[in-house]
Structure 1
Amino acid sequence: MVEHSTRSWTLKLAAGVAIVFGTLTILSGGQALFGSVAMRDAVGDAVPFVLWFNFLSGFFYILTGIGIAMGRRWAARMAVYIALAIAAVFALFGLHILQGGAFEMRTVGAMTLRLIVWIIVATVAVRNLPVVR
């Protein structure tokens, strides 16, 4: 009985983190993309493909969080795909930097945080929701 309780608690936490993280990602990305001129200027040297990816991925974060909360097996696979997509965009961002492209250092931190969070969410989901093969 304790194992089920722990499993339920960790899934709820992972789902909550995914939903909150997605909501904050949409809000911050939306301000950077569609906000006032002052808000857009405050973004600095944002890399457009990273900014758009982060904004759009926020909707998938929320969807996946809802799926995890509902105990849906597809949500575990989706969390893994999100982590892989973040890693791929992070790698492309690194290539952009290596080619001398302008960027904000805070984007490096944000992408690192995003990747760590989604690796953890995916790990919790895969361990606690049987993945359909």
Structure 2
Amino acid sequence: MALALITIFMSSSVLFDWFGIRAKQGNYVSFIVKTNLTAGFIYLIAAYGFIKSRIWAFWAMLSVALLLIYTFALFFIHIQSGGTYENRTIGAMIFRILITLSLSGFIYYDINKRPQNYNKPE
């Protein structure tokens, strides 16, 4: 849940220039920030599903991971075409993808080890 809230706060701060954060970000890539904002909201939905022991929480997290991987590929196209960016964006995207995949695995493992009648669909 903390990852979701931090992601939403930071992404929306850059997009809407809250608290002067946009100026501190340098050459941010808007489609990366928008994807991260979308990911933040899906993280919240997945957190709810995890709390309720729903297997769809795993699928939500896996979907975010795939979205981030796709966006990362587009980011490399952006770089190759001469677009401006910050080098730290590469590391941040790799970190976010790895964290999302790890959380997906954790959710899958945790929900499937619970009693079968507990994680039935609503």
- The bucket for the TM-score relative to the shorter chain is 0.7 to 0.9
Residue number in structure 2 paired with 1:49: 31
- Listed as ranges, the matches of 1:73-112 within 5 Å are 73-112=55-94
Residue number in structure 2 paired with 1:16: none
Superposition TM-score, scaled by structure 2 size: 0.84
Bigger relative CO (Cα 8 Å, ≥ 6 apart): 1
Q: 1:100 Cα deviation (Å)?
A: 1.5
Quick one: distance in 2 between partners of 1:106 and 1:80? 24
Residue number in structure 2 paired with 1:61: 43
What amino acid is the match of 1:59? F
Residue number in structure 2 paired with 1:4: none
Quick one: distance in 1 between partners of 2:33 and 2:99? 18
Q: 1:36 Cα deviation (Å)?
A: 4.4
Identity of aligned residues (%): 29
Does the 8 Å contact 2:15/2:30 carry over to 1? Answer: no
Q: Which runs of 5+ in 2 are unaligned?
A: 113-120
Aligned residues: 114
Residue number in structure 1 paired with 2:95: 113
Quickly say closer, same or farther: Cα 1:79–1:37, change in 2 above 3 A: closer
* RMSD between superposed Cα atoms in Å: 1.9
Quick one: distance in 1 between partners of 2:18 and 2:86? 19
Residue number in structure 2 paired with 1:129: 111
Q: Which runs of 5+ in 1 are unaligned?
A: 1-18
- Listed as ranges, the matches of 1:19-38 within 5 Å are 19-36=1-18, 38=20
Q: 1:38 Cα deviation (Å)?
A: 3.5
Quick one: distance in 1 between partners of 2:101 and 2:10? 21
Quick one: distance in 2 between partners of 1:38 and 1:27? 13
Q: 1:35 Cα deviation (Å)?
A: 2.4
